Amino acid sequence: MLDRIATMLVLLPALALAGCGSDEADQVLSDTEHSQQDVAFATDMVQHHAQALSMVDLTRGRPLDPEVAALAEEVRDAQAPEIELMTDWLVDWDEDVPATMRDHSNAGHGDHSAADAMEGMEGTGGSDMPGMLTAEQLRGLEEAGDAEFEDLWLELMIAHHEGAVAMAEEQAAEGTYRPAVELAEDVVAGQTAEIERMRALLG
């Protein structure tokens, strides 16, 4: 009896590891095939990234700490190409490319603010993603004085990044199209690092 108990104690960790391995093996990646999860990720992240770029636009002309200004440009440099990449995927998959708040602000209405553009998005599903700022939050950022702007921008961008990380973690775990999964992993790593930098800048 004692021998059987000892054997079970030895086997339990191995069985647990085997169970974890089978869960991981359920995700089969493809370089050519995609799933609805991949479509949803690209569709949502295009809109999410577009709002981040609009937030970067709001830093123009503001007296920022050089580190904050540099980080804002890094956000633009990282996310603008990712929007183009995900848009190309959607076109290749014969899926609709979503309208973004940047489309709303640039569609013949150059005088529209980011908050106005976001109001045009609300109720379309584009405002329901994790970390997406509301029109009210964007208006508060636009109207903030120089003394308050930098800290408010960092706080809102941290929340925005945290939402993107949550979306990317889901894609990394459930996606099928390998390039989209790899992009999601890059988003998790890159934006998690930026969150830590922004928290440090807030002190």
- For 99-111, write each residue's pLDDT tens digit: 998 775 554 444 5
Pseudo-torsion of CA 67, 191, 86, 29, nearest 10°?
150
Helix, strand or coil, per DSSP, at residue 5: helix
Question: pLDDT (tens digit, 9 = 90+) per residue, 51-61?
Answer: 999 999 999 99
Task: Give the residue among 198, 203, 168 at the shortest CA–CA distance from 70.
Answer: 198
CB 141 within 8 A of CB 55: yes
Exposure of 129 in the CB half-sphere (CA atoms within 13 A): 30
Q: What average pLDDT score do residues 157-186 get?
A: 99
Q: What is the pLDDT of residues 70-94, one digit of tens each?
A: 999 999 999 999 999 999 999 999 9
At position 146, the amino acid (one-letter code) is D
Query: The domain 29-202 is classified under which CATH number: 1.10.1040.10, 1.20.1260.10, 3.20.20.70, 1.10.3720.10?
Result: 1.20.1260.10
The residue with tokens 């991949």 is 38
What is the model's pTM?
0.82
Partner residues linked to 177 by β-bridges = 30
